[in-house]
């Protein structure tokens, strides 16, 4: 079994991004600027946003957090999105999800300018992805593709099973793994909560990508020997023995599945760091696009 070390790989990519930003700066070019809009005080969201901002600083990219109270109205948030769309100093921005229940994720996502949508969630960018046109790819699927490339994992003709059909991970990665390129050229099965005989399907997977949000859902008896596993899920559970007060779990029972896998991502330190570095690459791409 070989560990797909997202933390190590992300560090290597950050160095590459940092070098590119240095070249831009040396030529008198504009340093990319990423803005993160944080609504409310959700602990996980704060952690994610802080990690993204820290990554920006690490590579020499400008970054800003816009903090809004969770009582902000949908109208006020949309006005903030419009302001960011019009600000020429800002190359890309994200609105951290989830949002409070009184605000429509869909409305906010659609209000973001496609040229600044470095999360890759806007329908315009999703449509271009489906047509295999150059665009911002959703950060987590983009991170998975980079791991596949960096570890030279064979995908041509393989059976890729995706567990979870979200518009953020499951659906886009299913599309990307089936496209006529590398990584890709897989036969893809997209499964979800209504799938019958899920175990039978996962047992046939050469590549298994799991994005459910259900801790340790995939067990050793659900995979075959030699499978390549990408565990996207991350769930916090209280654990008094930990300094943080909680322990992180993936959607895959790592100890059991690792014994059968040829490659597997850990949680934490697998797909998560790759998601953040993909956001940096998209922001750099947005700045270049200007």
Active site residues: 52, 96, 119
3-state DSSP of the chain: CEECCHHHHHHHHHHHHHHHHHHHHHCCCCCCEEEEEEECCCHHHHHHHHHHHHHHHHHCCEEEEEEECCCCCHHHHHHHHHHHHHCCCCCEEEECCCCCCCCCHHHHHHHCCHHHECCCCCHHHHHHHHCCCCCCCCHHHHHHHHHHHHCCCCCCCCEEEEECCCCCCHHHHHHHHHCCCCCCCCEEEEECCCCCCHHHHHCCCCEEEECCCCCCCECHHHCCCCCEEEECCCEEEECCCCCCCEEEECCECHHHHHCCCCEECCCCCCHHHHHHHHHHHHHHHHHHHC
């Amino acid at each position: 079994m070989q560990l797909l070390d997202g933390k190590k790989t992300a560090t290597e990519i950050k160095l590459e991004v940092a070098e590119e930003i240095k070249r831009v700066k040396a030529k008198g070019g504009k340093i990319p600027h990423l803005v993160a809009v944080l609504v409310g005080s959700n602990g996980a969201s704060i952690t994610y946003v802080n990690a993204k901002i820290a990554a920006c600083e690490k590579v020499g990219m400008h970054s800003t957090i816009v903090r809004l109270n969770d009582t902000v109205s949908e109208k006020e948030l949309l006005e903030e999105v419009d302001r960011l769309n019009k600000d020429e100093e800002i190359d890309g921005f994200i609105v951290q999800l989830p949002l409070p229940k009184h605000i429509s994720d869909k409305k906010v996502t659609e209000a973001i300018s496609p040229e600044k949508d470095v999360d890759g969630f806007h329908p315009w960018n999703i449509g271009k992805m489906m047509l295999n046109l150059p665009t911002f790819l959703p950060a987590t699927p983009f991170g998975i593709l980079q791991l596949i490339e960096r570890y030279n994992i064979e995908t041509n003709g393989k059976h890729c099973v995706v567990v979870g059909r979200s518009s953020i991970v499951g659906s886009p990665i299913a599309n990307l793994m089936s496209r006529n390129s590398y990584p890709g050229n897989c036969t893809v099965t997209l499964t979800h909560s209504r799938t019958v005989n899920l175990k039978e399907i996962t047992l046939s997977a050469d590549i298994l990508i799991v994005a459910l949000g259900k801790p340790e859902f995939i067990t050793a008896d659900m995979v075959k020997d030699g499978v390549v596993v990408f565990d996207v899920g991350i769930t916090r559970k209280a654990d008094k023995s930990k300094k943080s007060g909680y322990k992180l779990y993936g959607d895959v029972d790592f100890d059991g599945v690792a014994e059968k896998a040829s490659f597997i991502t850990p949680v934490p330190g697998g797909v998560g760091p790759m998601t953040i570095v993909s956001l940096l690459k998209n922001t750099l791409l947005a700045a270049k696009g200007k």
